[in-house]
Amino acid sequence: MTVEPVPDEPAAVADCGEERALVLADYHAGLETALRRDGVEVRSRAADRRERTRRLLVRTEADRVVFLGDLANAIGSPGREEREELGDLLSALTARVPVTVVKGNHDGGVEEVVDDLGVDDVTVADGPGMRIGTVGFAHGHTWPSREVLSAGTVCVAHEHPAVRLEDEVGGRRVERAWLRGRLDPAPFVEHHGEVEIDGDLVVFPAFNELTGGTWINVSGQGFLSPFLPEGLADGEAYLLDGTRLGDYRRV
């Protein structure tokens, strides 16, 4: 596969042709600060997230890291704690490989942080996304560009997809999930006009386990992206451990 999930991790490796990219979605640096403002006491997990990312980079031997939007958590300019986390993370990663950030709806101030770092190895792409070789990347809060949609595989995030599972005795748990299927051209043609589409769509789980998410198999839970669920044909759900759940609408 062009985009292959890393077993037991909310991350994937994308074979982009000339290089392999480690792809993470919805990192939400500084989320704990926002939770504390809302009265939820939780320690910062910034160092844990950074170390997990570093280990994944070493494990996958990727040539680049792609953050698939919402690298930051603050909608506007990041505060001190979030800015420090972003600076430490990007500095650690760019010491090894280039980094690409596809902007999400929470990344309004990410360019300012990158400028403050003064590093040359961080590329920031706008919300409609970008292509690297045969793979397209967009956050998913807005419509992907024509260029992204023409890729063989399109990676999006934003949804934080999760499934609610029940056992035979009534026990319940919620687990992060992948969604994967064919791109259905219909909604994109309606939005863009004529556009060449013949690829797959992969919806990434959130890397940050504190974000919550969209329960894709619970009645009344709507999607956030303007092109979902219509843009996902024959969509199947997978758990992080690779368990195939089948049609996400029937889980």
Query: Beta 200-203 vs 214-215: how paired, if at all?
Result: unpaired
- pLDDT at site 170: 67
Q: Give me the residues paired with residue 238 across strands.
A: 178, 244
pTM for the structure as a whole: 0.92
pLDDT tens track for 66-115 = 999 999 887 667 777 788 889 999 999 999 999 999 999 988 888 888 88
Determine what percent of the chain is predicted with pLDDT higher than 90.
Answer: 64
- The residue ranges of every structural domain in the chain are 3-250
The DSSP call for residue 146 is H
CB 180 within 8 A of CB 203: yes
Q: Hey, what are 249's tokens?
A: 């609408």
For 3-250, CATH number out of 3.40.50, 3.30.70, 3.60.21, 3.90.550 equals 3.60.21
* Two structure tokens written together for 200: 């797959």
DSSP 216: T
N-to-C CA span, the chain: 24
Interatomic CA distance for residues 199 and 89, integer angstroms:
32
Contact assessment for residue 15 and residue 66, using Cβ atoms and an 8 Å cutoff: no
> pLDDT at position 174, please?
84
- The residue with tokens 């000339």 is 18
d(CA 160, CA 143) in angstroms, rounded, equals 17
Q: Which residues of the chain have a pLDDT value below 70?
A: 1, 38, 75-76, 168-170, 220
